[in-house]
Amino acid sequence: MSTDQAAAPPVLIECQRQGGIAFPLRRPTISVAVAGLDEADRQALMRLVQAADLASQPAAFPAPGYPDALETQLTVAWPDHSATVRFRDGDGHPAPLDELAGWVLRHKR
Amino acid sequence: MCQHAGCPPHVCFIIPPHMMEHVATNASDPTLRKRALHNLYHQGQLRGMRASMNQFAFAGLGTGTKQRTVYDAQHGGDLPGTLVRSEGQPDGQDVAVNEAYAYAGQTYDFYLEVMKRNSVDDKGMRLDSTVHYSTDYDNAFWNGQQMVYGDGDGEIFDRFTKCLDVIGHELTHGVTQFTAGLTYSSQSGALNESFSDVFGSLIKQYAAGDTADQADWLIGEGLLIPKAGTNRTALRSMKAPGTAYDDPTLGKDPQPATMKDYYSGSDDNYGVHINSGIPNHAFYLAATAIGGKAWETAGLIWYETLTTRLQLWSEFKDAAAATREVAQKHGAAAAKAVDDAWTAVGL
């Protein structure tokens, strides 16, 4: 992860899912604006963003095409740039990406 | 780029399949076995060599030897997780474990008793399931080696082990992998999905003893948590595609029933769960026209088609032609029912 990325907090996290056995169509994008979070949530999110390290991930993981795999697209936006990664069940992506996506989806519920 | 004769451009496997099979069968290290199986799966896909999977004996269990294991991912993403139940052990406190074990057994029994098939590979392959995958995870999938089930989010979805037809659906992806190998995209992917729905529904009907006119023809009935003022009946309806749910949070069931409403977008691997409504509805029409228990005639026609007539890139017209041909073995009435069913959906 770059020094800039480590130092500056993100301003927005977005998560979108599609596929899986249940709902084939692209679901609405879930957005979390960091400015609206309380300090505890902001700190938790910062730790998850750092662990997910989007800057070091490929834009998309090679999809093995497993039946019913769920696809997730995560975007983290900083004041002057953003990073997006797309991954699916079973494609070998790092667990912190799931943890960040899960946090965003749960937070908006 | 690889210069080996026989390797497609940019793709090369240095370990030949027979060596990989040996490692997958005999290696003492489970990680090595898993890796070898994973490689075999991808070699088979990329080379179009599903024989590398079909001929693979795995544990080589005799017909009728049911072997199930259930693992607990403990809300993480590592597979298979911690072993929590093996074949022959009694029910425990964990409902998801009990369901994954029991419904995998009912699926095995259906394939053995009705289709004379010994597990998903027809060679007695052990049925592995992982429950409690990830957190608030709204999905179940087949990863080429095993079933994986989430607990649902508790608001929209209940646990994904809840429905026998969903578990039958996932295991049928395994049957397809070892037979037709239908590529998971566009029409071949929609056929892959449809065969999983067809046999998922038949497994449920067989367990209940339902005739075709008694069956609900729903997939995942009870998986969606009811909410007042919305329709959360099921994931899909084979009888009436497009009517399984309609909810402000979820949207409306997008499945078409006929080719007139065929989805041509790129979402969902070019509509694998959407256009599957068309062959699903054809099966429903054929089975109800034939009458009686759907697995006794219509199910056999579809099973023979899946296991002997279709291949990686088969399309709807191929499935229609093959089932029409196979149906002739079952008498004029069955042949007419199948022909009429495909005609009704526009094929």
Asked if the model's pLDDT at residue B7 lies above 50, the reply is no
Q: What is the mean pLDDT of chain B?
A: 87
Residue with tokens 């099979």: B21
Q: How far apart are CA B330 and CA B311, in angstroms?
A: 23
Confidence of residue A18 (pLDDT cuts 50, 70, 90): confident
At B309, which amino acid appears? Answer: R
Residue of A nearest to B255 (CA): A24
Q: How far apart are CA B23 and CA B28, in angstroms?
A: 9
pLDDT of residue B78: 84
Tell me the average pLDDT across B45-66.
52
Residue with tokens 């969903």: B166
Angle at CA B13, nearest 5°, toward B124 and B57? 15
Residue of A nearest to B78 (CA): A95
CB A84 within 8 A of CB A71: no
CB A29 within 8 A of CB A14: yes
Q: Do A69 and B141 touch (CB under 8 A)?
A: yes
Q: How far apart are CA B103 and CA B168, in angstroms?
A: 8
Confidence of residue B47 (pLDDT cuts 50, 70, 90): very low
Residue with tokens 């578990």: B167
Asked if the model's pLDDT at residue B15 lies above 50, the reply is no
Confidence of residue B112 (pLDDT cuts 50, 70, 90): very high
Q: Which residues pair with A86 in a beta bridge?
A: A60, A73
B24-28, B250-254, B326-330: least confident range = B24-28
Choose between A56 and B136: higher pLDDT.
A56
Query: From the CA of A72, how many Å to the nearest CA of chain B?
Result: 12
Q: How far apart are CA B135 and CA B76, in angstroms?
A: 7
**Cis peptide bond N-terminal to B80, omega within 30:** yes
Asked if the model's pLDDT at residue B22 lies above 50, the reply is no
Q: How far apart are CA B133 and CA B138, in angstroms?
A: 10
Confidence of residue B141 (pLDDT cuts 50, 70, 90): very high
CATH number of A3-106: 3.30.350
Highest mean pLDDT among A76-85, B138-147, B309-318: B309-318
At B206, which amino acid appears? Answer: Y
For B266-308, the pLDDT digits (tens) are 888 899 999 999 999 999 999 999 999 999 999 999 999 999 9
Choose between B38 and B173: higher pLDDT.
B173
Q: Is B165 on the interface with A (CB under 8 A)?
A: no
Confidence of residue B310 (pLDDT cuts 50, 70, 90): very high
CB B67 within 8 A of CB B77: no
Cβ count within 10 A of residue B119: 28
Choose between A108 and A84: higher pLDDT.
A84
Proportion of chain A above pLDDT 90, given as a percent? 52
Asked if the model's pLDDT at residue B105 lies above 50, the reply is yes
Rg, chain A, Cα only: 14
Asked if the model's pLDDT at residue B29 lies above 90, the reply is no
Structure-token pair, residue B93: 């406190």
pTM, two decimal places: 0.84
Tell me the average pLDDT across B244-262.
93
DSSP codes of every residue in chain A:
--HHHHHSPPSEEEEEEEETTTB-SPPPPEEEEGGGS-HHHHHHHHHHHHHH-GGGS-SBPPP---TT-EEEEEEEE-SS-EEEEEEETTS---HHHHHHHHHHHHHT-
Highest mean pLDDT among A100-104, B60-64, B324-328: B324-328
Cβ count within 10 A of residue A27: 17
pLDDT of residue B63: 73
Q: Is B46 on the interface with A (CB under 8 A)?
A: no
Proportion of chain B above pLDDT 70, given as a percent? 82
Q: Which chain B residues in 284-323 lie under 8 Å from chain A, judged by CB atoms?
A: none
Q: Do A68 and B42 touch (CB under 8 A)?
A: no
Tell me the average pLDDT across B54-67.
62
Q: Which residues pair with A15 in a beta bridge?
A: A30, A74
Confidence of residue B341 (pLDDT cuts 50, 70, 90): very high
Q: Residue A21: which of B144, B169, B271 has the nearest Cβ?
A: B169
Confidence of residue B38 (pLDDT cuts 50, 70, 90): low
Tell me the average pLDDT across B36-58.
45
Asked if the model's pLDDT at residue A4 lies above 60, the reply is no
pLDDT of residue B210: 98
pLDDT of residue B91: 97
Q: How far apart are CA B56 and CA B285, in angstroms?
A: 37
Highest mean pLDDT among B21-25, B136-140, B150-154, B226-230: B226-230
Q: Do A105 and B76 touch (CB under 8 A)?
A: no
pLDDT of residue B315: 98
Residue of A nearest to B265 (CA): A25
